[in-house]
Structure 1
């Protein structure tokens, strides 16, 4: 009876397909063990090579997934940076508009104070006498 055992955890299976699935899902290496023959036999080496092939495929799959995730995160980061730059521009425009309104408000307040004063009121009344 041939059994497949994971070299990284306690997983065991009698079916090669299940062992391959475990290797793909976890990235672990499943090695075939033949109870009737020594592990160094002709078929034992072939099974270890198959396990290494499964490991290589799982590793390449993991690297591809990580590269895809990295690219996705980089694009997301670029989007966030672009949004942050846009917000900074809006903030600067808002601050400039606020300063302009403050200046205009101070100018109107000074004019109002002048018109309330005796000199300003007298000039305003004289302009209506004509």
Structure 2
């Protein structure tokens, strides 16, 4: 009977399907032992190694993509926080602008009054001795 041994840990199995499942789950490579190999002639062991290598490559690729996704997600959250801060600052500036405009209008009205005949008369009378 064929016996499969993991090259990275102590896993052993007599069934090819279980050995392949172990390879897919862990990324380890299982090799046929005791002269027995998978059906397919002298290239059978090479096929197992190639399949296991492809599994390792796929697992590594998934890991890199997950890592990159996490990095992009953190960057997105950071930009979201900056965006919210800028919106808050802009809202504060709009309020200050509105207050300044109202104060400017009030001062303009007072200035217009003081330039008018009535305002000028009252101002001059307040300086009479």
Q: Counterparts of 2:40 and 2:54 in 1: how far apart (Å)? A: 20
Aligned position for 2:112: 113
CA displacement at 1:40 relative to structure 2: 2.1
Structure 2: give runs of 5+ residues left out of the alignment: 1-38
In 2: Cα distance, 1:40 partner to 1:54 partner: 18
1:88 deviates by: 0.3
- Give the C-alpha shift of residue 100 in structure 1: 0.5
**TM-score w.r.t. structure 1 length?**
0.68
Residues 1-130 of structure 1: pairs in structure 2 closer than 5 A: 40-41=40-41, 43-130=42-129
State the shift of 1:45 in Å: 1.3
Q: How many residues get paired?
A: 91
CA RMSD of aligned residues (A): 1.1
1:85-128 CA distances to partner (integer Å, 9 max, x unpaired)? 00000100001000000000000000000000000001101111
| Secondary structure of the corresponding residue to residue 129 of structure 1 | coil
Deviation of the 1:69 alpha carbon: 0.1
- Deviation of residue 57 (structure 1)? 0.3
Cα deviations by residue, 1:51-90 (Å, 9 ceiling, x for unpaired)? 0000000000000000000000000000110110000001
For 1:40 and 1:113, the matched residues in 2 are separated by: 102
Partners of 1:50 and 1:40 lie apart in 2 by 13
CA distance, structure 2, for counterparts of residue 84 and residue 40 of structure 1: 61
After TM superposition, the runs of 4+ consecutive aligned structure 1 residues lying more than 4 A away are none
